[in-house]
Structure formats: C-alpha cells, structure tokens
C-alpha cells in the first residue's frame, strides 16, 4: 500500500528541471509550492531567481503558487525570467 502524504504537505505546484549540468553536482532548491532540480550552476541560479521573484510578486498580491491561476503564474515566470 502506498504511503499518503501528510495533510499539511502538498506536492509542489511548480517543478523546474535544468538539463545542462556537466559538472556532476546535484542541485536541488525547494520552497513552498516549488521544487527546482538540476542544471549547471548558472542555470540553477537563474531558475531559482526567477521562481523567487514570481513567488514574491504573488505574495504582494496576497496569493501563493497554489492559489494562483496557471496563466498568471506563467505570465509572471516569463516576466521574471527576462530579469534573470
């Protein structure tokens, strides 16, 4: 029988994967509502910065990743990726 997640712990709403790492490092960054894995140091830092700015933007609007509409999250990710 599969284990169930704790009620207060939800699966990440946003998953980022970096596929360009060649240095053997395993990079993982996890926050409320997101999980980022892999990538070169540069790629992982860029993903992290983009997601953190997106979460901050949503926070200023009084929402979390789990509460926001997918379209809004995508628009913010695009906007914040340009800043990275």
* pLDDT string in tens for the chain (84-residue length): 555 555 555 666 899 999 999 999 999 999 989 999 999 999 999 999 999 999 999 999 999 999 999 999 999 999 999 986
6 burial level (CB within 10 Å; 0-12, 13-18, 19+): exposed
Instruction: Give a three-class secondary structure readout of 16-70.
Output: EEECCCCCCCCCEEEECCEEEEECCHHHHHHHHHHHHHHHHHHHHCCCCCCCCCH
Q: Could you tell me which of 32, 39, 25, 40 has the C-alpha nearest to residue 10? A: 32
């Amino acid at each position: 029988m599969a284990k169930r997640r704790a009620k207060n712990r939800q699966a990440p709403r946003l998953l980022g994967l970096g596929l360009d790492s060649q240095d053997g490092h395993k990079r993982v960054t996890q926050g409320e509502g997101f999980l980022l894995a892999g990538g070169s140091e540069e790629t992982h830092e860029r993903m992290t910065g983009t997601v953190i700015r997106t979460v901050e933007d949503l926070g200023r609007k009084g929402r979390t990743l789990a509460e926001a509409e997918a379209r809004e999250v995508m628009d913010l990710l695009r906007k914040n990726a340009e800043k990275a």
